[in-house]
Amino acid sequence: MRSYILQDFPSPHPPFAFNILMPKDWLWFEKEGRPTAPNGKPQLLIAYGDRGDTSLVEILALKTERPVVPADWLHEWLKANDYQILANRIIPAATGRNADVKARKMVKGRPVLFRIRTFQKDDYIYILHCFSDAETYPQVEQHFLVAAETFELTGNTKSTP
């Protein structure tokens, strides 16, 4: 655990606030900015990656309009986006069935491996979307698992009238 640091990601939109353990030598990349309100699509909250730009941890959030089972939503999303599922585990939770998936996809002609996990709280589904080039994946898989086990929401997710 000495090689990790607890990163706090505050947000002006409380459901987008969380913390997570990340490798100390990885960098926080801001590609799309930090969203301040839901927009009906999965929104990138953070991207955190290694210095070689071969491995990345992303956290996305989706505000749902109706009750949705996170595992079912993820499997449909993976199909629609041409991921090949290599391993799949359902994680029962008080909020519904979450998914923990290892997948593969060709990106710009090269094989990329993904570790994707869902979390749900109230009207939000959170997606931990981790990926690395296939050759580098074995060296970073532990980082992805630590991120998944330590993801914790820190803001209120209840809708306000």
pLDDT tens per residue, range 99-147: 999 999 999 999 999 999 999 999 999 999 999 999 999 999 999 999 9
Q: Which two tokens stand for residue 110?
A: 């090269």
pLDDT over 50 (residue 160): no
pLDDT on residue 1: 65
Cβ count within 10 A of residue 20: 22
pLDDT on residue 21: 96
Structure pTM?
Answer: 0.92
Note the pLDDT tens digit of each residue in 57-101. 999 999 999 889 999 999 999 999 999 999 999 998 887 899 999
Element housing 140 (H / E): helix 137-150
Q: Pick the more confident residue, 7 or 96.
A: 7
User: Nearest 5°: phi and psi at 39?
Assistant: -125, 10
pLDDT over 70 (residue 157): no
pLDDT tier at 33 (50, 70, 90 boundaries)? low
pLDDT on residue 35: 87
Alpha-carbon distance of 128 to 148, in angstroms, equals: 7
pLDDT over 60 (residue 43): yes
pLDDT tier at 32 (50, 70, 90 boundaries)? low
Instruction: Determine whether 54 is exposed, middle or buried from the number of CB atoms within 10 Å of its CB (0-12, 13-18, 19+).
Output: middle
